[in-house]
Structure 1
C-alpha cells in the first residue's frame, strides 16, 4: 500500500527536528518544549521519557543511514543503563522503547537485562510489576503508564506474568484520562501480537476515543487536548490493523498540530500541575514519528 505524500514530508520534518534538538540538549534528555520558543526542558537521566528520545534517535538513524546518527542513538541508549534496576514499572517505557529499534549488541543486551530485572520485580500476589518507589510515593500501586512497554518486555521471558500484568491494569482502568486509555490500548495491541489473549480484542472499542485528538481529560471539557494521546492511539491502531483510522488520526495531527519546525504541539504534560499543557512532548514526537515511519514503510508496526 502506497503511503500518502504528506506522511513522507511530515516524517522528514520531524526527523530534522531531532537533529536540532540533539544539538540543543547535548547529553541531557528532552522532556517538553515551549510552543513559542521551542526551547526544551531537559533532565539529566531521562526520567520516564528517556527511552522515547533514544527511540527518536534510532528512527533518525534508520531514515538517514548515517553512521553518526547511529552512533548518537547507541550512545543515548547506553545512558539508560542505570534504569535497569530502578524500582519502577516505568522501565517498560524507558527500556523497551529505548532499545526496541536498536540492533547493536549493547542495546540488545540492555533489553535482555531489563526484561530479566522486570520479571524479578514481578509481585505474584498482586499479579503485576508494581509502579515502584523510584519517582517517590507509595511503592505497591499500579498506574496505567506501567503497562505499555512492560508487556513486551515481560513477554520475552514470562508470558503468564505479562498477561497478568496487563489484565490487572485493565481491571483498574483509566477513567477520563485520554493518555491513560491510549497507554492501555497500546499495551493491548502488543499483547495481541505477543501473547495468546484473543479475548482482549474486546477491550479495543472502549479504549479507542471517538475524537481523533482527544481532550486531555474528560473532567475538563473546556480544557486542553492532548496530541500525544492521539499519536499513541494511532500507533496502537496501526498495530491492530486499523490502518485507515490510524492514518486519519496522523493526518489530523500533521495538518493541524505539526509546526513548520517539525514539532508536534498541543501535547498536555501535566494538567493537574499546570505544567506543559500545550507543549511539544518528546513521547508525542516519538509516536508521531513512528506512526509516520510505518505509513511510509520505513519500519513495521510491530518493530516496537
Structure 2
C-alpha cells in the first residue's frame, strides 16, 4: 500500500490496544482539569518540570488552539457539561486572531475548533480559513509567515504549514496544495534542510538560521502537514517527503547539532499523530510507549519538551502543544477520535 493510500485509509479498529494507552489518556486528560483550575481565564503555555506551575498568556499566542483542543478532548472523554462549557469559552476567545497577520493561524484555528461541536466554532473556523486564503501571496506561492509576532513578514517557516494545510483545504484546496509544495521545496529541497526562508525582492528566497537546521520540530511539523495533505488533497506522491522527514531517534534532541543537549518530547508527540494519520500504527505505538513510559509523570505531565533552546526558554518543560498531540494520539488509539478528524 502506498503512503498516500495508507493515509487515506482508516485506522484498524480491530487491532488490540495495550492497557497503558487508556490509562495514559486518563492521566493526561486528568491533568487538563488541574491545569484549567490553575490558569483560570488565561492560556497555559509551558509548565515548570518540578512544580508543574504554568507560564500563561492572556490571548493564547500561537498556542491557544492547543489549549482549546485539549479542553474539547476532555469534554468528549468525560461528557461533563462544565468541561464542554470551558471548551466553548476558550474556543470563542480565539476570535481575536482571525485577522492577525500570521501563518500560525493554522495552528490556532484548526486545532482550536475542529474538535468542537458548536455551529459558532464551525463558523469561526470558516472565517479564519477565508482570512488565511485572502493572505495567500500568489507570487510567493504561500501564505507568508506574517508580522504579528515581529520580524520580517515575508518568511516561509516550517511551523506555518501544519494546521494551515487542512484549514486552507477546507475552502481552497489549490491554495492549500501550493502552500505545502512551496514549503517542501524550500525546507527539504535539494540543499541542506532549512526551516525558515526570507523573501527579498529582487533576490528571491534566502535561508535563515533561526530556527537552526537541527531544530527538532522542523521535521515533525512538516511531516504532520504532509500527512494531512495526503488525506485531504490531490497532491501526488508524497512518499519521498515522508521518507525525508522520518529520520533520527524517536524522541529527538531539541537541536540535532547538540545531541547531548535537551530532548524535545513535543516533536515526538507531533510525529506520533502524523504516523497515525499515515497509517503507521505500530511505529506510532512504539513511539508513544517510549513517551509514556519515560517522559509522562504519574499526574499526566509530558516533560522534557523544549520551547526554545537558543534562548534557554523552557528547555525541559511540559508544553501545551506536546500535551495536545500526546492526548490526540492516545485518543486516536482508543477510538475517542478519528486520526483525520484534527
The equivalences for 1:281-300 within 5 A come to: 281-300=319-338
CA distance in 2 between partners of 1:262 and 1:10 (Å): 7
| Deviations 1:145-173, CA, capped at 9 Å, x for gaps | 00000001111111111011011111221
- The equivalent of 2:109 in structure 1 is 95
State the Cα distance separating 1:7 from its structure 2 match.
0.4
- The equivalent of 1:78 in structure 2 is 92
User: Alignment partner of 2:291: what SS?
Assistant: helix
State the Cα distance separating 1:210 from its structure 2 match.
2.9
Q: Contact 1:2/1:296 (CA < 8 Å) preserved in 2?
A: no
| Deviations 1:215-252, CA, capped at 9 Å, x for gaps | 11111111111000000000000000000000000110
CA distance in 2 between partners of 1:8 and 1:209 (Å): 28
Higher mean C-alpha displacement, 276-285 vs 215-224:
215-224
Match status 1:248 vs 2:286: yes
| Deviations 1:126-149, CA, capped at 9 Å, x for gaps | 000000000000111111100000
Q: Contact 1:55/1:99 (CA < 8 Å) preserved in 2?
A: yes
Structure 1 runs, 4 residues or longer, greater than 6 Å off: none
Q: Which has the larger radius of gyration?
A: 2
CA distance in 2 between partners of 1:105 and 1:183 (Å): 29
Q: TM-score, normalised by structure 1?
A: 0.99
Q: Contact 1:188/1:201 (CA < 8 Å) preserved in 2?
A: no
The alignment of Structure 1 onto Structure 2 pairs a total of residues equal to: 304
Which residue, 17, 20, 24 being the options, matches 2:34?
A: 20
| Deviations 1:265-303, CA, capped at 9 Å, x for gaps | 000000000000000000000000000001111111001
- The equivalent of 1:3 in structure 2 is 17
Over the aligned positions, Cα root-mean-square deviation in angstroms equals 0.8
Q: TM-score, normalised by structure 2?
A: 0.88
CA distance in 1 between partners of 2:338 and 2:18 (Å): 16
CA distance in 2 between partners of 1:111 and 1:218 (Å): 35
Q: Contact 1:52/1:283 (CA < 8 Å) preserved in 2?
A: yes
CA distance in 2 between partners of 1:198 and 1:287 (Å): 27
User: Alignment partner of 1:71: what SS?
Assistant: helix
Match status 1:137 vs 2:151: yes
CA distance in 2 between partners of 1:156 and 1:177 (Å): 29
The equivalences for 1:189-208 within 5 A come to: 189-208=227-246
- The equivalent of 1:108 in structure 2 is 122
Where do 5+ consecutive residues of structure 1 fail to align? none
